């Protein structure tokens, strides 16, 4: 990585943090390039490179001869924006975790169904040693993430795993917060056992139903908790 690339990466990261923290609000403008160059102690080409990347990932809209405008990144962003938010997960709110759980509710039932349809024995193997799962948040968080990623990888569509890979840095931390509640661990324990039975029966439709019901229940519990 060149010095210019390293500087532009750092500037991009700091500007994203400032946007997430609300220092630069939606529809406000960033300082002009010359002021940013002075602020960060770099040349304007380095600033321009960082701003171009922010534009490609939906954070800002560049305007010729005028300072860039901050976008509503939830509406203008893309998968890169999501990865940027995750990389800055110290700014993550309970509401954002709720958004991720809602996304999981939409995706998980489909790749669970497909994993059993195309790789039933491997799904059974993933669930075969449930009795060794310790009743603590760390064990449940690690087991759940391994199960999620493994099933996504066993589905026919490779994009499921690609999306889940984006959450590697935050999922277990988020899951430990969720699984710190004993009732939530009990809910998941029952789900894993029922899912194992569906996998043993080769019943992909039942596995999809179980997954959807459990994911929706998890989301409801999380929303109730943060209230």
* Burial of 54 per CB tally in 10 Å (0-12, 13-18, 19+): buried
pLDDT of residue 173: 83
The residues, any chain, with a CB within 8 Å of residue 58's CB and separated by 6 or more, are 71, 73, 76, 77, 78, 80, 81
So what CATH class is 3-82?
mainly alpha
pLDDT band at 118 (very low <50, low <70, confident <90, very high): very high
DSSP bridge pairs for 60: 70
pLDDT 10s digits, 56-113: 999 999 988 899 999 999 898 888 888 888 877 665 677 777 788 888 889 999 999 9
Per-residue pLDDT averaged across 130-139, rounded? 96
CATH number listed for the domain at residues 92-226: 1.20.120.530
pLDDT band at 1 (very low <50, low <70, confident <90, very high): very low
Domain spans of the chain?
A: 3-82, 92-226
pLDDT of residue 113: 98
* Burial of 67 per CB tally in 10 Å (0-12, 13-18, 19+): middle
Closest CA to 195 of 127, 148, 143: 127
Least confident of 20-24, 26-30, 89-93, 171-175: 89-93
Per-residue pLDDT averaged across 180-205, rounded? 96
Per-residue pLDDT averaged across 3-9, rounded? 69
Task: Answer yes or no: is pLDDT of 4 > 60.
Answer: no
Task: Answer yes or no: is pLDDT of 3 > 60.
Answer: no
pLDDT band at 175 (very low <50, low <70, confident <90, very high): confident
């Amino acid at each position: 990585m060149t010095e210019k690339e390293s500087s532009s990466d750092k500037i991009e990261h700091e500007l994203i943090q400032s946007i997430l923290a609300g220092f630069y609000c939606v529809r406000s403008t960033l300082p002009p390039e010359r002021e940013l160059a002075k602020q960060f102690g770099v040349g304007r080409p380095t600033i321009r490179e960082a701003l171009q990347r922010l534009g490609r990932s939906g954070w800002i809209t560049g305007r010729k001869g005028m300072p860039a405008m901050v976008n509503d990144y939830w509406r203008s962003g893309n998968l890169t924006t999501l990865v940027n938010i995750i990389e800055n997960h110290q700014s993550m709110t309970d509401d954002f975790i709720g958004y991720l759980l809602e996304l999981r509710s939409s995706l998980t039932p489909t790749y669970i169904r497909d994993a059993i349809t195309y790789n039933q024995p491997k799904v059974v193997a993933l669930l075969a040693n449930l009795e060794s799962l310790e009743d603590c948040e760390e064990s449940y968080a690690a087991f759940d993430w391994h199960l999620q990623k493994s099933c996504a990888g066993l589905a026919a569509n490779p994009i499921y795993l690609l999306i889940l890979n984006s959450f590697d840095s935050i999922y277990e931390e988020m899951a430990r917060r969720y699984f710190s509640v004993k009732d939530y661990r009990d809910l998941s324990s029952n789900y894993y056992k029922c899912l194992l039975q569906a996998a043993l029966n080769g019943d992909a439709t039942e596995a999809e139903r179980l997954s959807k019901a459990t994911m929706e229940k998890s989301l409801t519990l999380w929303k109730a908790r943060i209230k």
